[in-house]
Structure 1
Amino acid sequence: MGSSLLLAGALGFSSSASAAYPDHAIRLVVGFSAGGTTDVVARIVGKEIGDALGQPVVVENRPGAGSNIATEMVARADPDGYTLYMVAVTSAINQTLYKNLRFNLVEDFSPVALAVRVPNVLVVNPKVPVNSVKELVDYAKANPGKLNFASSGSGTSIHMAGELFKQLADIDVTHIPYKGSSPATTDLIGGQVDYMFDNMPSAWPHVEADKLRALAVTTADRSKTAPNLPTMQESGFPSFDVSSWFGVIAPKGTPDDIVTKLNEAILAALAKPEVQQRLEDLGAVPAKTTPAEFGDFIKSEVESWAKVVTASGATVD
């Protein structure tokens, strides 16, 4: 009898705690440095979650190991709804790229919601004497081994886009990985690297400021942000279709009612015209899913990127 009462009390406390959620600040962890696309999207979405739930959402940047440090940290956090993760396509790629991960993206998290999809854009330092994808390929072939391309880290979609381009164009270029899109872009602007496939939100302001030159977007369709910019497919690579995505996940075991509250807050935010406009101005396309739909999406992304990683031969121990 005593144990039954104790169990009932514990269940009652749990239910009450969930009902009161949130009663203090929520931490939204980002696996990359401040200023990159993951960080930008996290701050937009985080503010809206905080406004909807009445508690501040604090974005915490934990860059390193292609975002795996942050991912593992959140996987091991208490499943109470107060530690969330802004997951990116990178994590789906890492599941195959890294051989000794101490977490499983599909099994160790509670999916909350997909937030946005983001096209990548091929940008070059303005001093590189090219104005189109074809000219870049021709220049690289005329100067084998001399060009290098940056990425936000080994195994990111930005890196994989670069490797795919290298394979399809059959060019001899060198990959230079960085700890995030922001430092990579800084060196690209400074001329330390020659080109990169960056996310549209972080790259486009530099294009508009004439600090970078855009050659093409990586999605099958042109971007609303840059309707005059051709796609990689239009530029001679008919199979090229790469995009990034960002969403919110929580540690496995986070109560369903808390996950539902967070999902509803994100969907409400994405339904706001001003939020949609801000995201679209950055080149991001809002996406809306249930937690279950996002879980299925993550699983399919892990499976599809496994094929790309395997074909590229890339691996990290």
Structure 2
Amino acid sequence: MPLDPHIAARIHLLEGIPGWDSGRTNPEHAAAFTEFAIDPEPYELPVNVEIGDDVVAGPHGPIPVRIYRPSGTTGLLPALLWNHGGGFVGGDLDMNESHVTSAELAHRARALVVAVDYRLANDGVQYPVPVDDVEAAWLWLAAHADGLGVDARRIAIGGASAGANLAAATVVRLVATGGILPSRLLLAYPALHFPFPALSDEVQAVMATLPDMIRFHPEGSRRMLLNYAGRSVDLPPEVMPGHAPLAGFPATRILVSEYDDIRPSGELFAEQLAEVGVLVETQLATGMLHGHLNRTPTLPEVSRSLDFFAEALRAGTTA
């Protein structure tokens, strides 16, 4: 499929911009980002979702979380612990990939969703601190299932991009330690290997035409890893879960963006899970770039992606 026409009509706005961070200091770049992010229609959060903030105790201090509860529900709810992306250095609870995604999944799946504001790899923070935060939030959610009105047998964990990495890393820990496992794992365009596997020639031909700022070139990917883990060799398996033992993982759904340098990591992870007998299902978000959950479901492919995860939350323990 070609690049989504709505995105294709705006991609020129990103030409010549060195990176996402430049939007913080360059007004012209900030304006270009804003225009690029405009979706086809105005969007409003689902009205039948109650949203509240809370704090979870963690080994490095308090961890802010945001809780999304569908209104008018009875009985125990399925639940999801959700982690935004941002290259381990960016993102927060207000970005669409956290706030909109969480509200939509709570609405579509009639599930309790807990979004985690884990510590970012800035100002000296590095691995294992972000994973520690996510693990602490997971243990809190599992321990407080009854009080939250959650079915303890149907608690999932997931995330997008770097957040998907942290979700999978938490599962690596839980498998290794015999901890309480999630009922399923939901991963959106995950970064799970280093180096990333190669793109197909067909996808690479399209990627080569896109602005550098939305690419994950090898050197930039290495810098991201060095910032997060402090090194790129002799890595603990949970830093890049695609290199960890995967037997014992829960049923998993993996969403990949069609035009994304990281796409092969998600696809390879699906093959690795299947090889050790884990039930896994993948979905390709056609015409989408990396991070497409930062847009809204007014784009049909974003809505389809949300339904892919919501369906898993509504189900039992199958993929």
TM-score, normalization: structure 1?
0.32
More helix by share: 1
Q: Taking CA–CA contacts closer than 8 Å with sequence separation of 6 or more, which of the two structures ends up with the larger relative contact order?
A: 1
TM-score, normalization: structure 2?
0.32
Larger CA Rg, structure 1 vs 2? 1
